Chain A
């Protein structure tokens, strides 16, 4: 059951530019989470935003949530080559159910 869908599927930018990834989902949520996955490794949790929050920051990361549009965005500012990875959004559809992950956005940052 795919809940979140990331857009674009792949993104290639130059070092120093900003990268924006979007996530759309279908049902009401309790919270939305973003994860990062380096090639061949496990996922690492980046940030969690609750349904009553609109924006959250963590270092160079900025996440927004629009529950009326059922969408979220992840902005990475001043990107670095080390930011090259896949980024996933994950949502909590209802109650005590596990996270449901999207298919991810593959970000390439070219030095």
Chain B
């Protein structure tokens, strides 16, 4: 069965720390995505990638960066964590081709708290 695995379900970090959120998919998907989900705001796209070593900014990339060195792994990096980055972070993947046509498969999310 399709599986997207996020490294942590819950994470607590301090302001100013560099934070790494890891996501691995086992479906050989070309496309991977990072979202954050906040009450009343829905899902907002942070970054996405259509291929290894490729990345594109989403709607809210400020304060974040990403890394995709291998096809199956997409990492989200908070360069210097701030309290307004406390949120639920969701990773997703989808097959290649026209990304817009394909349903996305999601991990269970990482609930990140920045103190």
Cross-chain contact B58 with A101 (CB below 8 angstroms): no
Closest 8 CB pairs of A and B: A42-B106, A103-B42, A92-B100, A45-B103, A101-B43, A43-B106, A42-B108, A42-B107
Which B residues fall within an 8 A CB radius of A? 4, 33, 35, 40-43, 45, 48, 58-59, 90, 92, 98-101, 103-109, 111
Q: Choose one: A2, A48, A100; the contact of B103 (CB below 8 Å).
A: A48
Report the bound CA distance from A31 to B42 in whole Å.
20
Given A31-B101, A45-B105, A98-B99, output 8 extra A-B contacts at Cβ < 8 Å. A30-B101, A40-B108, A42-B92, A42-B107, A48-B103, A97-B99, A98-B45, A103-B41
A59 interface residue (CB < 8 Å to B): no
User: What 0/1 pattern do residues 15 to 58 of A give for CB contact below 8 A with B?
Assistant: 00000000000000011010000001111110010000000000
Cross-chain contact B42 with A102 (CB below 8 angstroms): yes
In the complex, chain B residues whose CB is within 8 Å of the CB of A98: 33, 45, 48, 58, 99-100
Q: List 18 A-B contacts (CB under 8 A).
A: A2-B42, A30-B101, A42-B4, A42-B90, A42-B92, A42-B107, A43-B104, A44-B106, A45-B104, A48-B103, A88-B42, A88-B43, A96-B100, A98-B45, A98-B48, A98-B58, A100-B45, A103-B41
A68 interface residue (CB < 8 Å to B): no
Count contacts on A: residues with CB < 8 A to the other chain.
24
Cross-chain contact B98 with A96 (CB below 8 angstroms): yes
User: What 0/1 pattern do residues 90 to 111 of A give for CB contact below 8 A with B?
Assistant: 0010011111111110000000
Report the bound CA distance from A99 to B45 in whole Å.
9
In the complex, chain A residues whose CB is within 8 Å of the CB of B104: 43, 45, 99
Min CB–CB distance A6 → chain B (angstroms)? 9
Q: Which residue of B lies closest to A9 (CB)?
A: B40
